[in-house]
Structure 1
Amino acid sequence: MKTKFTISILLLIIATSCVSPKVYKNLEDKYATLKKENRSLQDEYNDLLKAKTKAENELRDSQEEYDGAITDRNTWEGEYKALVNEFQDLKESYDALESSSSASIAANSKKNRELLAKLEAKEQALTSENTRLEKLKKELESRSNRVAELESVIAAKDAAMTSLKNAISNALTDFEGKGLTIEQRNGKVYVSMENKLLFKSGSWAVGVEGKKAVKQLGTVLGDNPDIAVLIEGHTDDESFIGTEQIKGNWDLSTKRATSIVTILRENKNINPENLTAAGRGEFAPIASNKTAEGKAKNRRIEVILTPKLDEISKLLNEI
């Protein structure tokens, strides 16, 4: 999917090879805004993982507190039963002494009253503890449900992105071994296409084979309208001799990204609002520029696919 996105950007660059300053400026503004949104989405994703960990810790603490309360209650129940037995013994002694000693009767009566008071206090303590246990149990169940729901949503997002990655891999099978890589990390899918698949040296015009790959990527993207698509152009560190149309590596990488967007725009199922074109020049290499192989890997288009995180954000606010 990332590959299709990249190819679409390249096609867009071809269609708009002579971009007016105003359009180019708008593209730059849109890229800056989307880049900021992309960073925000990444931060939200990291916050979600932290919130999940926090919720799990709270759930563990509540479980420990609940277990401790159960232990206390059992202890008090034992003490209560012991007091009941002691009270029964005293009552029997009281009955036996009642006819022989008024003094003994008075003493036993006092002790009985004390025991009754203790029993009443224990009963009240047990009632209060049972109420607290019930409250803790409900809180524990509520937190468990929220954590489970959050885990379910995150798992669903990951599964959806895995399915998307697999769909892109299947769609671009013909381009394996031609400078195409597809990865899934940090909740996103990255489709990388080396320039040898897309462009000739110094050009932002997408070749026939490259257009085919981008269009096939676009087909998968059209079936996933809720995915944000960022197309980034990258170069090696070789200085590009500027022309009237190209000012340098950064400009070239931007035009190549825009060419891919142009191709993707041909697919009417793709929402233009989800597309962003960006040029990174030579400033985000993935390999060393000291070797020809490393330079070839750095000359690439990256299509970064990000799912919507609105549902997860809502759950986090409720925890």
Structure 2
Amino acid sequence: MQKILFVAGAAAVLLTSCVSGKKLKAEQAKYAKLNDFYVQVQQDLKKCRDDEETAARRRQQLESELDAARQQLSMTKENNNVMINQLKDLSVISSAQAESIKKSMENIGAKDAYITDLQKSMARKDSLNMALVMNLKSALNDINDTDIEVKVEKSAVFISISDKLLFRSGSYELSDRAMSVLGKVAQVLNAKPEIEFLVEGHTDNVPIKNACIVDNWDLSTKRATAVVRVLQNQYKIDARRMTAGGRSEFLPVASNDSDASRSLNRRTRIVILPQLDQFFKLLEKPQS
């Protein structure tokens, strides 16, 4: 009998333990579900707050844009009123004044067209100068760059030739090598018979005086005329296209404090002059 009672009691305890375990698991599941819901609510709340801040900023931006649009509209209305008043004033001008205004507008249009023509002519001249420079550099490409320079400056083309390519020291007698150099230059110049040019002689500042040369003025001038004579007689360039001049020591390109710098100043320069007569013809066009 006691054994039976013991077994029954043990079964009751075991049954109670099973029921408590099920309730615990159920409560734990319920807690986990509630916790997940809580976390989701917190996230949704944060998103709502963020959206609210974004919306507030957007509203402030839109209000600023609205204010700017209102100001712009106010200015436009004010400008319209000014223009209406001006038109009212213009409506009472006389026919003579209206004709004067019309002529003024026509003059402005004519001047604009004139300026456009000048700009086109100048652009065309710049293009021709660059083409001439390229032809000269191509003809002289076998000569040391330090002995000859071709460039465009102030609407003129300059060919600067070192004296050691053309003359003996202290002399205005052209060397054999000078004939080759001047022949290449003459070939390009003869292909452009409309071009006029100036031949300039330049010296350093070392004084010179002998039986044939009075001073640096004399030497620079005689060197220029020697080049012109060769271009005329040897290479048949029309003398009317050429001018010879001496600049002596007074237009140096370097200081005269060393042999190297003085050698740079001893040079002959051929200056291809801009076609001023063509430019002046443009200026002489009748203007209203």
Secondary structure, aligned partner of 2:213: coil
Q: Whose radius of gyration is greater, 1 or 2?
A: 2
CA contact (8 A) 1:73 1:129 kept: no
Q: Deviations over 1:101-121 (max 9, x none)?
A: xxxxxxxxxxxxxxxxxxxx9
C-alpha distance in 2 between matches for 1:78 and 1:285 = 64
Q: Deviations over 1:72-117 (max 9, x none)?
A: 99626976xxxxxxxxxxxxxxxxxxxxxxxxxxxxxxxxxxxxxx
Trace 1:202-221 onto structure 2 (pairs within 5 A): 202-221=170-189
- Which runs of 4 or more aligned residues in structure 1 lie more than 6 Å from their structure 2 counterparts after TM superposition? 126-129
Q: Of 253, 258, 261, which aligns to 1:286?
A: 253
Task: Let me know the Cα RMSD of the aligned residues.
Answer: 2.7
Show the counterpart of 1:252: 219
Pairwise CA distance, 1:217: 0.4
Q: Of 209, 226, 238, which aligns to 1:271?
A: 238
The structure-2 alpha-carbon separation of the partners of 1:253 and 1:282, relative to structure 1 and needing over 3 Å to count, comes to same
The structure-2 alpha-carbon separation of the partners of 1:136 and 1:74, relative to structure 1 and needing over 3 Å to count, comes to farther
Show the counterpart of 2:75: none
The share of aligned pairs that are identical, in percent, is 30
The TM-score, its normalising length taken from structure 2, stands at 0.64
The structure-2 alpha-carbon separation of the partners of 1:290 and 1:78, relative to structure 1 and needing over 3 Å to count, comes to closer
Trace 1:1-319 onto structure 2 (pairs within 5 A): 75=84, 125=93, 131=99, 133-243=101-211, 245-265=212-232, 266-268=234-236, 270-317=237-284, 318-319=286-287
Pairwise CA distance, 1:264: 0.9
Secondary structure, aligned partner of 1:224: coil
Secondary structure, aligned partner of 1:281: coil
Which gives a bigger RCO, structure 1 or 2 (Cα 8 Å, sep 6+)?
A: 1
Q: Which amino acid aligns with 1:145?
A: A
Q: Deviations over 1:47-68 (max 9, x none)?
A: xxxxxxxxxxxxxxxxxxxxxx
Q: Which amino acid aligns with 1:177?
A: D
C-alpha distance in 2 between matches for 1:280 and 1:122 = 63
C-alpha distance in 2 between matches for 1:151 and 1:183 = 22
Note the residue ranges of structure 2 that are not aligned, 5 or more in a row: 1-79
Pairwise CA distance, 1:241: 3.4
The TM-score, its normalising length taken from structure 1, stands at 0.58
Q: Which amino acid aligns with 2:271?
A: I
The structure-2 alpha-carbon separation of the partners of 1:282 and 1:76, relative to structure 1 and needing over 3 Å to count, comes to same
C-alpha distance in 1 between matches for 2:138 and 2:271 = 18
The structure-2 alpha-carbon separation of the partners of 1:197 and 1:122, relative to structure 1 and needing over 3 Å to count, comes to closer
Pairwise CA distance, 1:240: 1.5
Note the residue ranges of structure 1 that are not aligned, 5 or more in a row: 1-70, 80-120
Larger displacement relative to structure 2 (153-162 or 139-148):
153-162
